[in-house]
Amino acid sequence: MPTITLPTPTGLAPFTLSAPRQFARARPPFPRVALAAAHVVADPLAEQDPWLDTKVDWDRTIAFRRHLWSLGLGVAEAMDTAQRGMGLDWVGAKELIRRSLDAMQDHPGAVMASGAGTDHLAPGPDVSVDDVIRAYEEQCEAIERMGGRIILMASRALAKAARSPADYEQVYARILGGVRQPVIIHWLGEMFDPALEGYWGHHDHYAAMETALSVIAGSAAKVDGVKISLLDKEKEIAMRRRLPTGVRMYTGDDFNYAELIAGDAQGYSDALLGIFDPIAPAVGGALAALAGGDLALFHGMLAPTVPLSRHIFQAPTRFYKTGVVFMAWLNGHQDHFTMVGGQQSTRSIQHFAELFRLADAAGLLADLDMACSRMRALLATHGVG
């Protein structure tokens, strides 16, 4: 096995890699719905101001979606993992959704749902609740015209404009009343986006949950499920047990997903996760094991990915996308480690070194020589050679 010198908190030390793990390729149906929130690949050679412009390598971006579908996973498109509202604007998101829907036609049985939000409406003191409704309607109508399913994303503009939980209830009732197909509601916590602090009209998550549950109960026929991204399994379980019959809980907990997907005597969570992007081979293998009733193998495949996920999503959690793209580069899904908005700079070389070690421990470095070569190139830019 190859050896590479990596930085540690106490200095440089050799690290010998392990053999990659072989994960079973499986096809749905799986006993859980599993959607991977996929990243976008930047075009590093385009003329641009990287902090200001969004230049996407469409070929590599769509090829990654094909990779996810080939492993039996669904795709959650144009979400925060794709730097939505954090580099990728609504114009770019529409193009991404259109291209992904076109590509999906080549994959019979493939599943995709796409984020509809209000990110083309800048939050501000003059923005009203009615403005938020119109913005949501514009994006929902655009996605449905393209033949897509909707993930109803949390709105920064609504968080700014709302004066009470009743404003959230008004907005969501209006939007859910107008959609053609049931949607997935996404409650994105402030640890992922500080602008969403106090969503649903409360700073306390359990009080906020009451508003969300009221919204869902009032339009249950229009809600496929809810994804909560609070990184707190107890809150997810508490909400899951109170959902109306037929409404799914999609775990957004990148710290505790394995046990939440496995479930308990009172139910389980399906999944819509950003971590599924870099660990997709393990997820496909684990779901195949679960379909075969082998819970031990399910946990055996996912357990080593949990420390990796917790590292990628460590605070500041909003920078997790950097680790996702780093993994895609190490595994050859793109030829560079450059991100929209220059976000490859949001983590330290110590962070990347530990991520490399954890990815190896999970058996998720597919080509060890390639991974070492690319890691050495990154180390060289930080003065390690």
Alpha-carbon distance 177 to 136, whole Å?
12
Please tell me the predicted confidence (pLDDT) of residue 38.
Answer: 98
Alpha-carbon distance 336 to 249, whole Å?
36
In the chain, % of residues over pLDDT 90? 95
Q: Among residues 87, 49, 89, which one has the least CA distance to residue 340? A: 87
Residue pair 231/255 in contact by the 8 Å Cβ criterion: yes
Please tell me the predicted confidence (pLDDT) of residue 50.
Answer: 84
pLDDT tens digits along 196-243: 999 999 999 999 999 999 999 999 999 999 999 999 999 999 999 999
State the pLDDT confidence band at 48, using cuts at 50, 70 and 90.
Answer: confident
Alpha-carbon distance 383 to 51, whole Å?
24
- Long-range residue pairs from 200-209, CB within 8 A, at least 24 positions apart, any chain: 200/165, 200/168, 201/162, 201/164, 201/165, 201/166, 201/167, 201/168, 202/165, 205/230, 205/232, 205/235, 206/235, 206/238, 209/235, 209/238, 209/239
Report yes or no on whether pTM surpasses 0.85. Answer: yes
pLDDT tens digits along 50-59: 888 899 999 9
Mean pLDDT of the chain: 96
Alpha-carbon distance 320 to 80, whole Å?
10
DSSP labels, 30-70: PSS-EEEE----B-TTSSS-TTT---B-HHHHHHHHHHHHH
Task: Give how far Cα 111 sits from Cα of 83, 155, 221, 298, 374, Å.
Answer: 21, 24, 20, 22, 32
- Is 3.40.50.11270 the CATH classification of the domain at 27-295? no
Please tell me the predicted confidence (pLDDT) of residue 280.
Answer: 97
